[in-house]
Structure 1
Amino acid sequence: MDAAIDRAHLDAQTFGDAELARELLALFSGQCRRILPALSDPGRDPTGRADLAHTLKGSAAGVGAFSVMQACAEIESALRGEGEPPSAVHLADLGTAVAAALAEIERLR
């Protein structure tokens, strides 16, 4: 099974600075916890939800959470009308990817 956080990528992004890596992962964790509920709310404006997916996608790319990044890309694309509307499966995939990333972040502390 692939790691939820690509440590080599994170190390490259932080130039091997372990404290900076911990800080970035803490920020990413908080962002996941704030964005995921809003992103999953079908009552919110689709454009706003797409923007949230885009934001989380970028953050995930920065820390090496590539499963989160991919799930956000699919949801963003769907919300911007570039495919089928996001389904419960898309959101479940994102939830699973976020849970795995958060669990790995906890193990890395």
Structure 2
Amino acid sequence: MAKLADSTFLKCQAQPQPFSVADGESPIDLVHLSRQTFGDHDLERELLGLFDAQAAQFAKRLRAPAAPGDADWRIALAHTIKGSARAVGATEVGHAAEAYEQALRGEDASVAEKAEMLGAAIGRARSAIALLLGGAAQNGPTGKYFK
């Protein structure tokens, strides 16, 4: 995976870290995704589009300022995005969400760092999805990869 420049969670979500095929390793495991969909490219497009939308909403909610008593809904969000990420092959997002969820459950001092790592992973996954769908992740499931 290409090394990222230092960034905060907010910066990452405002402008996701660039991802290109030249990086050599996609944030989306396309073999896993193909297995999950039995090779159905239309279903792959649909799932990637749904995951992209869910990840965008998750990132928006995660950016909300932390307040006492909000750990429960943050844990639920992390758990949800972890499962969704693993289903579509966004392994890095799944691992980062799990680390964030565990940090929240354990009231770990590294919660903010884990949130930043999750934000960066979401940004890379969303960038890869945009490339895979031909920039259409925001506009619907049509794309270069899945023609």
Fold agreement, TM-score > 0.5: yes
Normalising by the residue count of structure 2, what TM-score does the alignment of the two structures yield?
0.69
Tell me if structure 1 keeps the 8 A contact 2:99–2:114: yes
Normalising by the residue count of structure 1, what TM-score does the alignment of the two structures yield?
0.91
Residue among 127, 139, 144 paired with 1:103 = 127
Alpha-carbon displacement from aligned partner over 1:10-57 (angstroms, at most 9, x marks no partner): 000010000100000000000011111223431261011000000000
Tell me if structure 1 keeps the 8 A contact 2:82–2:98: yes
Tell me if structure 1 keeps the 8 A contact 2:79–2:98: yes
Q: Equivalents in 1 of 2:109, 2:31: separation in Å?
A: 34
The code of the aligned residue for 1:103 comes to: S
Matches within 5 A, 1:1-109: 1=1, 2-41=25-64, 42-43=66-67, 45-81=70-106, 84-109=108-133
Residue 90 of structure 1: how far off its partner (Å):
1.0
Residue 86 of structure 1: how far off its partner (Å):
4.4
Tell me if structure 2 keeps the 8 A contact 1:39–1:53: no
Q: Percent identity between the aligned chains?
A: 43
Q: Equivalents in 1 of 2:46, 2:36: separation in Å?
A: 12
Q: Which runs of 4+ in 1 moved over 6 A?
A: none
Paired residues in the alignment total 108
Tell me if structure 1 keeps the 8 A contact 2:36–2:88: yes
List runs of 5+ in structure 2 lacking aligned partners: 2-24, 134-147
* Bigger Cα Rg: 2
Tell me if structure 2 keeps the 8 A contact 1:40–1:91: no
Question: What SS does structure 1 have at the residue aligned with 2:38?
Answer: coil
* CA-based RMSD: 1.5
Alpha-carbon displacement from aligned partner over 1:48-102 (angstroms, at most 9, x marks no partner): 1000000000000000000000010011111112x61443321111111111111
List runs of 5+ in structure 1 lacking aligned partners: none
